[in-house]
Amino acid sequence: MHFVVEKSHTTALVLPKHSRIIATIYTMNIGFDLDRIFINHPPYISNKFIDLLYKESVRDELKYRIPSIPEQKLRLLTHYSKLRKPMKQNIQFIEDLAAKNHNKHFLISGRFAFLEKTTQKLIKQYNFDKIFNAMYFNFENKQPHVFKDEIIKKKHIDLYIDDDLDLLAYLAPRNPKTKFFWFNDKKDFSLCDNLLAITELKKMTNYL
């Protein structure tokens, strides 16, 4: 099943005297991936190698590998906290953004079920359960791009940021009303009408 945590915030409206109505005001639903957005990959491992490890080579089709049991054990070792450093600047960004309480913020991760226990520890360690309005994890082992497409549609996500360009290229044409951001460490540019490359999370605030 999905591991989902949801919460709500309220913002008081200034209303005429004698009115005591409290309403919840949100302007946008903003989604974030987890890995390479808030938690880094192990050092000295290139993105190309990650792609080779995680994706299958299938012509004209995006497909992610669900690792075998021996490989799952190996991958669990690479998720040891000392190898997966927090991206402190990005975590600070989402903490500050969430504190403004104008939007809803969602963590949407394609992590498979074998990482569930590790992920739950991570959530508590960095207080993600207090930052995000809801968190969605792919613990049913769906294809990650299919899983994320379902959540983006279900939660009516307005902005979504991820480090996986192949995945974003799949999502963007299927969700034309959503603005997608590819987080990369090289340059900022536009890939298409609703897909932009950015090198800092704060640059997505231009679209809030």
CATH number of the domain enclosing 107: 3.40.50.1000
Dig out the tokens for 10 from the structure: 């309220």
Give the separation between CA 55 and CA 14, rounded to whole angstroms: 51
pTM summary value: 0.86
Over residues 90-144, the pLDDT tens digits come to: 999 999 999 987 899 999 999 999 999 999 999 999 999 999 999 999 999 999 9
Q: At 55, give phi and psi (nearest 5°).
A: -115, 145
| Domain count across the chain | 1
Distance of alpha carbon 12 from the chain centroid: 29
Q: What is the CA radius of gyration of the chain?
A: 18
Nearest to 134 by CA among 208, 39, 26, 207: 26
Residue type, 94: I
Query: Domain range for residue 167?
Result: 3-207
Give the separation between CA 51 and CA 57, rounded to whole angstroms: 10
Instruction: Pinpoint the alpha helices (H) of the chain.
Output: 47-54, 69-78, 88-99, 116-125, 128-131, 144-154, 165-174
Do 93 and 201 contact (CB within 8 A), yes or no? yes
Dig out the tokens for 29 from the structure: 């639903």
Over residues 2-21, the pLDDT tens digits come to: 556 555 443 333 334 454 54
